Amino acid sequence: MMIRALTLGLAACIAALSAAAQTITIDDTVITDYRPVVARIEATDSAEARSRLQGVVTSLRIDEGQEVKAGDVIAVVTDETIAPQISALSSRIEGLSAQIQQQTEDLARAEKLLADGFYPKARYEREQTALNVLKSNLKAAEDERRSVSARRSEGDIRAPADGRVTDVLIVEGSVVSPGQTIARLVTLEGLVRLSLPERHLAFIGEGKELPLRLPARSGAAQSAQIVKVYPALRDGAVIADAVVEGGLNALVGERADVLVPVGERTAIVIPAEFVTTRYGIDFVKVSVGDRFVEAPVVLAEPLVTTGEFEVLSGLKRGDVIMLPEAENS
């Protein structure tokens, strides 16, 4: 009987705690008001992929908007004069190798005759010098062929960094010169560069965290931490780098709303899970006597930092509200 009583008491305590967790008592909360400041998303890093050869673009493997990794081959430039040079050098190397082989054999026979006293020493030394010259010429030809072959590999245009392609300035079949830009890339992942009006400089500082949202997209706020403020204004704007939690998928030049604090006030705030909406009207279960009834409320927009709702009317301090599904459970 005692064990059963303890079990029933424990169950009653758990039920009471569960019910308490599903209800909250309304009280005033200090909230911060934010004002959206129009900013622009800029690329933190930009790079250009350039050609190192003069030739024809025989392969183009990228398009605007495509993401690339550092080292990816984005285009191939072919210099049609390289292949004949390599062929000519290969033929020259073959000829020099044959001459060296013949000269080595002749020098071996001359060395035997010289030892027997039947071959002039001066002539032997001239032939030995000629063999050394042939070997030097062979080495120079091989080095030149390696150099020309390396130039052929320079035709592979590689992405200089991880990023997104913003401009492709040539088409397949174009004739390009050394140093000509093939494509431009920017990076926008994680670290973004903001351009904000100068009058909001007081709200911008290294280490500060500000909510940021893209109004042209979902409008959901993301936390951005300022990591660097540049010392020079540009066209009347403050330039700052910020780290966006979770990264930011945005276009270069896209508008962003940076939410700067303008003041604090007290308000009634409730979590979003306590609200149900039917036919465009918001309801909250409020304690009236010994039961809970649904009462209509007027809500403001969700708070940008927490997602909770500010209650404009329908609730007051001291009211007890319950989760919509708690009474059924």
CB 148 within 8 A of CB 90: no
Question: 238 lies in a domain?
Answer: yes
Inter-residue contact 40 to 251 (CB < 8 Å): no
Determine the pLDDT at residue 17: 34
Q: Judge whether 272 lies within some domain.
A: no
Any domain includes 313 = no
Same domain, 39 and 87: no
Do 70 and 161 fall into the same domain?
Answer: yes
Give residue 190's pLDDT. 61
Q: Are residues 193 and 180 in the same domain?
A: no
Is 64 within 8 Å of 165 (Cβ atoms)?
A: yes
Structural domain count of the chain: 3
If asked whether residues 68 and 89 sit together in one domain, one would say: no
Residue 216 shares a structural domain with residue 249: yes
112 in any annotated domain? yes
Coil, strand or helix: which one is 21?
Answer: helix
Alpha-carbon distance of 294 to 292, in angstroms, equals 7
Token output for 28:
């005033």
∠ CA(292), CA(296), CA(301), 5° rounding? 120
pLDDT at 59: 92
In a domain, residue 217? The reply is: yes
What CA–CA distances, in Å, run from 68 to 65, 157, 160, 186, 188? 10, 12, 10, 10, 13
* Same domain flag for 124 and 231: no
180 and 202 fall within a common domain: no
Write out the residue range of the structural domain in which residue 209 sits: 35-44+188-262
pLDDT value at position 136?
92
- How far is C-alpha 63 from the chain's CA centre? 17
Report pLDDT for 182.
92
- Which of 153, 168, 196 lies at the terminal end of a domain, its last residue? 153
For residue 58, the domain's CATH number is: 2.40.50.100
Q: Does 311 reside within a domain?
A: no
Provide the pLDDT for residue 326.
Answer: 61
Per-residue pLDDT of the chain (329 residues; tens, 9 = 90+): 333 333 333 333 333 334 445 888 988 888 888 888 878 777 777 888 999 888 899 999 999 888 899 889 999 998 888 888 888 889 999 999 999 998 888 888 888 887 877 788 888 888 889 889 989 999 999 998 888 888 888 889 999 888 889 899 999 999 999 999 999 998 766 677 788 888 878 778 888 888 888 877 776 778 888 888 888 888 888 888 888 877 777 777 788 888 877 778 899 889 888 998 888 899 999 988 888 988 899 988 887 777 788 888 888 888 899 888 765 55
Assign 3-class secondary structure to the chain. CHHHHHHHHHHHHHHHHHHHHCEEECCEEEEEEEEEEEEEEECCEEEEEECCCCEEEEEECCCCCCEECCCCEEEEEECCCHHHHHHHHHHHHHHHHHHHHHHHHHHHHHHHHHHHCCCCHHHHHHHHHHHHHHHHHHHHHHHHHHHHHHHHHCCEEECCCCEEEEEECCCCCCEECCCCEEEEEEECCCEEEEEEEHHHHHHCCCCCEEEEECCCCCCCCEEEEEEEECCCCECCEEEEEEEECCCCCCCCCCEEEEEEEEEEEEEEEECHHHCEEECCEEEEEEEECCEEEEEEEEECCCCCCCCCEEEEECCCCCCEEECCCCCCC
- pLDDT given at position 176: 92
